[in-house]
Amino acid sequence: MNTELLGVLVIFLLTLALAWPLGHYIARVYSGERTWTDPIFGPIERLFFRVSGIDPNHEMTWVEHLKALLTINLIWFLMTMFVLMNMGWLPLNPDGNPSMSPDLAFNTTISFVVNCNLQHYSGETGLSYLGQIWLMFLQFVSAATGLAAAAVLFNALKTRTTTPLQGLGLGSGVRVGLGNFYNYFLKSSTRILLPLSILVTIILMLNGSPMTFEGKDTMVGLQGDTVQVSRGPVAAFVAIKHIGTNGGGFFGANSAHPLENPNYLTSLLELFAQFIIPAAMVFAFGFYLRRRKLALMIFGVMTIGFLMLVIPNIVFEMKGNPAFSAMGVDQSLGAMEGKEIRFGAAMSGYWSILTTVISTGSVNAMHDSTMPLSGMNELLAMMVNAFYGGCGVGLLNFFVYLIIAVFIAGLMVGRTPEFLGKKVEAREVKIAMITALLSPLLIMGGTAMAAWAQVQDPTLPWLNNPGFHGFSEMLYEMTSSNANNGSGFEGLGDNNPFWNISTGIVLILGRFIPIIGPIAIAGLLASKKYIPESAGTLKTDTTTFGVMVFSVIAILTALSYFPALALGPIAEYFSM
Amino acid sequence: MKSHILPAIKLTFCCLLLLAVLYPLAMFGLGKAVAPNGGKGEVVEANGRTVGYALIGQNFSDDRYFWSRPSAVGYNAAGSAGSNKGPSNPDYLATVQARLDTFLVHNPGVRANQVPSELVTASGSGLDPHLSPQGALVQVARIAKVRKLNVKDLELLVAQHTEQPLLGLFGTATVNVLELNLALDNLK
């Protein structure tokens, strides 16, 4: 077998194999059972809680969870705005890089707080090392926020035999404790993200990723040209960038940069690192709820969706650019524009989908230069945003599709829609539909606005490519923002007030509504009476239901996005 | 919401201490001990001076050297970027054709279908340090002529500097251009 394909296949299977035990471990962490990390991190966590005046055993309702989540995110937003707009004079700035303009700082802050890492700057010139370290901090805590939200979902879907009482509160009039947000948040950071990041950092450093606080180096190269090389604390940053499915690069070229991703081995490592937690979370869901079959159904749907997107991309990229055929160059290595020799076309094709189904958004090859239909698949991956999905939030997004599928399937077979022993009623379905329909609204609305502005004033210096591909650049930027992905068709000139502010708003809505919606649904379900399974129950852990969920995802996505895709990548494909 | 503000601020500072101070400092200290060049990035020395970074590609456009790939940032590693040109962009296709024509002029006797696409396309980072083995071999005849060397010796040199796929099983074969050109200078 071709060595390029073999590498991709092996890392895919290896990740899945290791996701199972990690999922088991994560389920134990969230259910508060003993793990081998207790003696190491237990004392630190207790100290942090004591200092912060937090009782980690205080049970929160879903509303309290959301209040805690939004408050701490708001605090990070304000602190980050301050750092980014003042880092020019703050310490750790050996290259003398300037502070950010307000609109760029707004966009950068939001996009790192929401785990997106859309970067309208280049790390080499746009950030001091203090800024980099600060953003690295956000990569930890934003991922931990997503994981904590997923932990709340786990808790809410637990089978409750006794219904907790207490008159007041939202929902159906009962307050149900769903664990403690700060506890889930801190444990996600210390027990899951930090240990994995340390491991990845060490391997990256051994392979030559720098970890230094010295500034740019200058020397005369072999041919006599003056060579400058940007450096920095790269390894620690790149580790959490993947473990937390953040994807924001230390350097402008992200993981295509040789110092962020020195060789084939590190590239395999980074593919593994971004995939492992989203995959493990699905298994953790099964272990936590003791419903492995349901988790396997979810995992199956996600995997089929992933393979349907990734296989074509590998094929397109390995085949090369059809527009080159007239020139007669040898394309046996594939479409090499925007790709690195040490990774090759197959791995770059695989990465392009992995990073978009999961909301990582790091790249090892430039998506703007991938083939038209590869670009379409990258867009589709972000439009669905639930085939594995980002740290924690992928499962939340999938949960929304699940609720819609339960409702539709229930109507089709004439049974009461139920999920895990709880009735799914009008209110839950309404929330699910609003959450699901928000994405097309933001993506289409945003793209329409941008396209309108571009048509009004064709001199706007936004697009790097003419025609259909130019439209795809705008569509991609809005889709990436809404999915909190962060990759881009990077040719787009996006560091200006229009893009900084519009995508900033899309980012906030695209992050918090899809967290609030599912948590609300789960919180409402948790407060309902448990109905034991009977012959009349719609079974959700079967292949049939898996097909149903997949169809719901496919139909929703196709109906929402086909017209836009037809104007962009599909039109480009047929024009070549 | 108000009751959450103070605890959230305090917890944020605790996390800052652990994740933004202790974690990077520990990794920095470890890097000093175990990483190449103490974590400052591995450098390449020749003739008693530093000529570059092992992982960072350099511009080679002289006929005496193996050319490196086209770069959107001119191999200036104070930045990094790809061209971000779309596959159907007519200006871009004209650029690629011009690169091919230039290559063929400098390498008489080479046919277009012997030129691997990496030699006419820009890399993702603009700093790609590698060529494919074919990308180096197709330049051997030119270099042999300019340097008055034996073609067989040069082919051997390329073979010696070809890095096979990982464990012989995974990924691509690569040739580090800086390393190859250094060896070329030492061949005389």
Q: Where are the domains of chain B?
A: 1-41, 43-185
Sequence-separated (6 or more) residues with CB below 8 Å from residue A545: A297, A405, A409, A538, A539
Which chain B residues are closer than 8 Å to A76 by Cβ?
12
Judge whether A314 lies within some domain. yes
**Among the partner residues B14, B112, B118, nearest to A328 by beta-carbon distance:** B112
Q: Do A141 and B182 touch (CB under 8 A)?
A: no
pLDDT at A168 over 50: no
Judge whether A222 lies within some domain. no
Task: Determine the Cα–Cα distance for residues A375 and A381; give it in Å rounded to an integer.
Answer: 10
The pLDDT, as a whole number, for residue A56 is 94
Task: Determine the Cα–Cα distance for residues A266 and A453; give it in Å rounded to an integer.
Answer: 42
Q: What is the pLDDT of residues A396-409, one digit of tens each?
A: 999 999 999 999 99
Higher pLDDT, A416 or A556: A556
Q: Do A258 and B90 touch (CB under 8 A)?
A: no
Calculate the average pLDDT of chain A: 92
**Nearest-Cα residue of chain B relative to residue A199:** B27
pLDDT at B55 over 60: yes
pLDDT at A169 over 50: no
Q: Do A227 and B52 touch (CB under 8 A)?
A: yes
A412 touching B, CB under 8 A?
A: no
CA A37, distance to chain mean position in Å, is 26
| Best residue in A194, A206, A340, A472 for a mutation probing chain B (most B CBs within 10 Å) | A340
A502 touching B, CB under 8 A?
A: no
**Nearest-Cα residue of chain B relative to residue A572:** B88
Average of pLDDT values for A185-202?
96
State the pLDDT confidence band at B47, using cuts at 50, 70 and 90: confident
Judge whether A221 lies within some domain. no
DSSP 3-state assignment of A145? helix
Q: What are the C-alpha distances in Å from B68 to residues A237, A264, A465, B63, B161?
A: 29, 19, 25, 11, 15
Quote the minimal CA–CA distance from A184 to chain B in Å: 13
Average of pLDDT values for B101-123?
95
The pLDDT, as a whole number, for residue A465 is 92
- Backbone phi, then psi, for B59, in 5-degree steps? -75, 125
Please report the residues numbered 89 through 148 in chain A whose beta carbons come closer than 8 angstroms to any beta carbon of chain B: 122, 124-125, 133-134, 136-137, 140-141
Q: Do A342 and B87 touch (CB under 8 A)?
A: no
Average of pLDDT values for A59-83?
95
pLDDT at A505 over 50: yes
The pLDDT, as a whole number, for residue A165 is 46
pLDDT at A166 over 50: no
**Among the partner residues B4, B82, B125, nearest to A67 by beta-carbon distance:** B4
Q: What domain count does chain A have?
A: 1
Average of pLDDT values for A552-557?
95
The pLDDT, as a whole number, for residue A172 is 46
Average of pLDDT values for A108-136?
93
Percent of the residues in chain A that have a pLDDT greater than 90, as a whole number = 86
Q: Do A329 and B49 touch (CB under 8 A)?
A: no
Which chain B residues are closer than 8 Å to A365 by Cβ?
82, 124
Task: Determine the Cα–Cα distance for residues B60 and B182; give it in Å rounded to an integer.
Answer: 12
pLDDT at B142 over 80: yes
Average of pLDDT values for A427-433?
95
A465 touching B, CB under 8 A?
A: yes
The pLDDT, as a whole number, for residue A193 is 96
The pLDDT, as a whole number, for residue A537 is 83
Judge whether A553 lies within some domain. yes
Q: Do A329 and B12 touch (CB under 8 A)?
A: no
Would you call A153 exposed, middle or buried from its count of C-beta atoms within 10 A (0-12, 13-18, 19+)? buried
- Tell me the count of A-B CB pairs closer than 8 A: 381
B97 touching A, CB under 8 A?
A: yes
pLDDT at A164 over 60: no
The pLDDT, as a whole number, for residue A65 is 94
Average of pLDDT values for A511-517?
94
State the pLDDT confidence band at A59, using cuts at 50, 70 and 90: very high
The pLDDT, as a whole number, for residue A416 is 81
Q: Do B87 and A321 touch (CB under 8 A)?
A: yes
A221 touching B, CB under 8 A?
A: yes
Q: Do A258 and B169 touch (CB under 8 A)?
A: no
Please report the residues numbered 360 through 399 in chain A whose beta carbons come closer than 8 angstroms to any beta carbon of chain B: 363-366, 368-372
Q: Which domain covers residue A85, as residue numbers? A: 3-216+228-575
Q: Do B88 and A467 touch (CB under 8 A)?
A: yes
Q: b or e along A85-112 (b: 16 or more beta carbons within 10 Å of the residue's beta carbon)?
A: bebeeeebbebebebbbebbbbbbbbbb
The pLDDT, as a whole number, for residue A163 is 53
pLDDT at A170 over 50: no
Q: What is the pLDDT of residues A340-372, one digit of tens each?
A: 999 999 999 999 999 999 999 999 999 999 999
Residue with tokens 């010139």: A125
Q: Do A222 and B181 touch (CB under 8 A)?
A: yes
Q: Do A4 and B172 touch (CB under 8 A)?
A: yes
The pLDDT, as a whole number, for residue A530 is 86
SS3 of A257-294: CCCCCCCHHHHHHHHHHHHHHHHHHHHHHHHHHCCHHH
The pLDDT, as a whole number, for residue B1 is 66
Average of pLDDT values for A194-202?
96
Q: What is the pLDDT of residues A19-47, one digit of tens each?
A: 999 999 999 999 999 999 999 999 999 99
